[in-house]
């Protein structure tokens, strides 16, 4: 089984332009072969995610094809209004709630596990945190299976 990779970056901002206004600036420069989507927080399908701001999603070519080497490879960038860095625990809770909300309406089964996440802090500064881990969730978009992605 090949590794599935998700990169997660969290950006803290005190002023955010949301959808419905001027388009938010691109948060990461990736070539045009990657798809792009902007979603404003709060998100109706993930009501437990109590953040204000927006996320930019960048999808690798083939990210939605199980046989492709880029399956579930994407960049998720959250630009959220916070006074201080989110804790690793808060990040983990929000990611779990995000994927729980995303997959439940798309489920192909009636019984599947809640998402689980394991994060480890690699380094932490006053304005920056680096962490890595895994997220296990029901893939209600493509396979109908429980998968594990690397964060």
Coil, helix or strand at residue 141: coil
Residue 48 has pLDDT above 90, yes or no: yes
The pLDDT confidence band at residue 33, using thresholds 50, 70 and 90, is very high
Q: Which of 35, 36, 43 is nearest to 18 (CA)?
A: 43
pLDDT exceeds cutoff 50 at 83: yes
> Could you give the CA distance from residue 81 to residue 94 in angstroms, rounded to a whole number?
14
Separation CA 117–CA 137 (nearest Å): 9
CA distance 110 to 107: 7
Average pLDDT of every residue of the chain: 79
Range of lowest pLDDT (16-30, 75-89, 98-112): 16-30
* DSSP three-state, residue 18: coil
Candidates 84, 30, 85; CA nearest to 61 is 30
Give residue-wise pLDDT tens across range 16-31.
Answer: 444 455 667 677 788 8
pLDDT at 6 over 90: no
Q: What is the pLDDT of residue 11?
A: 46
Rounded mean pLDDT, 13-17: 41
């Amino acid at each position: 089984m090949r590794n599935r990779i998700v990169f997660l970056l969290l950006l803290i901002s005190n002023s955010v332009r949301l959808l419905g206004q001027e388009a938010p600036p691109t948060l990461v420069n990736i070539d045009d072969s990657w798809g792009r989507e902007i979603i404003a927080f709060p998100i109706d399908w993930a009501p437990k995610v109590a953040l204000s701001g927006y996320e930019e999603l960048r999808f690798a070519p083939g990210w939605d094809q199980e046989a492709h080497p880029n399956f579930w490879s994407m960049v998720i960038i959250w630009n959220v209004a916070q006074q201080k860095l989110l804790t690793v625990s808060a990040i983990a809770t929000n990611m779990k709630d995000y994927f729980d909300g995303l997959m439940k309406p798309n489920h192909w089964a009636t019984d599947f596990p809640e998402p689980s996440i394991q994060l480890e802090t690699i380094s932490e500064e006053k304005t920056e945190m680096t962490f890595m881990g895994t997220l296990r969730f029901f893939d209600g978009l493509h396979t109908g299976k429980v998968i594990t992605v690397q964060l």
